[in-house]
Structure 1
Amino acid sequence: MSAPNINLKNLEFDQIKNELVTYLKSQSEFTDYNFEGSALSTIIDLLTYNTFYQIFFQNILINEMFLDTAQKLESIISHAKVQGYVVPGKTSSTAKLEFTNNGDTGTPTIPKYKKFRGIKNNSEVKLFYNIEDVSVVEGETVEFTVYEAKRFVNKAPITLDVTNQSVFIPEIDVDFRTLQVFVDEDEYKVVTSVEPNVLNEAKLCYLERRSNGYDVRFSGIVSSDGTEYDSSTLDGESITVTYAVPSGSLGNEVSAFNFVSDAPTGTLNTISPSSRGANAPSLESLKFAIPRTFSSQSRIVTEDDVNLFLLNNNYATNAVTIKVSETETGVVEVVGIEEEEEQAIEELNARSIVGIRFVVGAADGS
């Protein structure tokens, strides 16, 4: 018996049904059958439904297997993990403040995680926190950065999964810059697999995105039966985490700041209003960023590396306006930085290859 001539281009329900009927009519066993009869028509409908569902399911399955065609965030997270990219949620808006010690004869300290009240022009209030201690000698002025957070988690205890050597943070919107992990009060550096020079750090943990939060994985190894540990395995230690849960772009454009409580003696001024707060990236922007982040390996080598770095870190929002050009040997001008030019250039230079220095270029290209 020869194989039936199947038209694989017919993928709609009615087309599939017609193909089935045409095939059955071509068989001598069904020459005199009434294919519009209720019983046989129902059987053909069932076959058609089954075929249609299988086509639809297989199409979705194949699409999710590739980064370019994936439509589910869970699939993109899985693809990103293979390439050492951690899919972010919202990013905190940051502001630069300065504090002047006007008369305290000691060296007052603004402790880390101090809460600041920020007020936008429309009178909306946002809360900000500093993540490092700030010490100010009498008569001096110190600059520091504060991070917006609708909720700030400060050294919250978290349960260790000994077998997997990991802890789970049940938050999608965690600003990576504010994430701190402590094991028995020792801080571990949080990195991704493409972070440069990770082997130079003795205490590391790795961040992995899940659909409903983040896994923080430690480097310890446990045997399959759970009885043998290596020297770096954690078991019974106290683990705490600190991080900001940001409002994203809603935290931008805050210009007036004050201490919420226990203000030290001195003057608090705003150097630059809050900016660079961003919402979670779209699926399309993730598809653009993931392979390019992997190819650059956190280094700044090519023009694409510069573009991606500025976009990923919210120093720019439009790749079209970013221009990179070499003006003289070893000096590269960058145009199109929209936020915190000096800091952006400083970070570019920290990641550049030997012999290359980035500078801010003139907007008119002159």
Structure 2
Amino acid sequence: MAGNTVARPDNALWTTTRAARELGLKRPELELALGLGRVRSVPDPSGPGRRITRAEIDRLRSENGFPEALRESVRAVAAPTGATLMDVPAVRLSRLARLGLLVPVSFYFSRYGALVWLYLAEELRQFAADEKNAPYLKGRLPEGLRGQERTGLDLRARNWRGRHLGFLLRQVGDDAWAQTAALASFLDPALVSDLVQDPYEQAHLGRLRPLPPVRVSASRTADLVTRITTASDPDEIDWLRTDLAQALTEARAQHPAPRPEPRTPQLHHPPHPAEATHPTQVARPTRPTRPARPAQAAQASPAPDGTPPHRSPVSEPDCNRPAVPTPRGGSRESRGLLGWLRRRS
């Protein structure tokens, strides 16, 4: 049913999870392949991550020996397995790694909390196959190396930092701020604050800071990861500071760090006389004064000569006169007058 097949564009972007599934790799193997440049990625247009195009997946699938060849090129092994590949004791491999002749590619912590360094199997085989490295594989090490070994030299963490920094810079591409954040991630935060004093630039670098290379589940493990990922040698700190200052200058020239937009002050105009009342306050209408009744007005107004107004006896009845019951029938005035005449007679 070729007519019903929907063709996928070559520039379709896939997540790293889907790309690992399509390439037959585990997630750590794909991350290592991205760092080594075996798998090419592009920036994610919707976020800070990376994406793999379908064209890149098709390119890798068309190579000879896929997927075994790709999987073997990113195979990382611990010291015992690596020593078997090199046909040397595991202790000899660890000694060569401490002296800087072999560079770890990653590390992890065992379930007992022990630090385990990993090496590329492909690089171990190449080191063992090179005839110039024969003095390091059999017999006693040269005197110069044995002298360094007696001082307790261990370059595994430093060499891993240099290699991992290359991985990070390769993945971020031309983003100058992301490159600056990658360099800053290997320095003590106090040293970074001395170089980057702007708080908005510090916040931007914090957002772009790479994730830790391993998951941290205990405080002891976290302290050890911090020591591994932070530069400690004075010369290493010096060249990291120099590179950070240069990268910061280039990042500022590329574009400034994001800053909050300044707030525009609101201009308050005086209200119009007709709109002086606050809009949330409704002006109450003035209650009209009820006109006084004529009798009340006459009582309230004084005479022209200033004498107090005359009070009508009807308006205020005499409280000292006893009340006369009103007989049934007739008016109150007539019944009161007859009673008074009777009392007179």
| Pairwise same-fold verdict (TM > 0.5) | no
Higher relative contact order (CA 8 A, sep 6+): 1
| TM bucket, shorter chain | under 0.3
Larger radius of gyration: 2
**Structure richer in strand, relative to its length:** 1
Higher relative helix content: 2
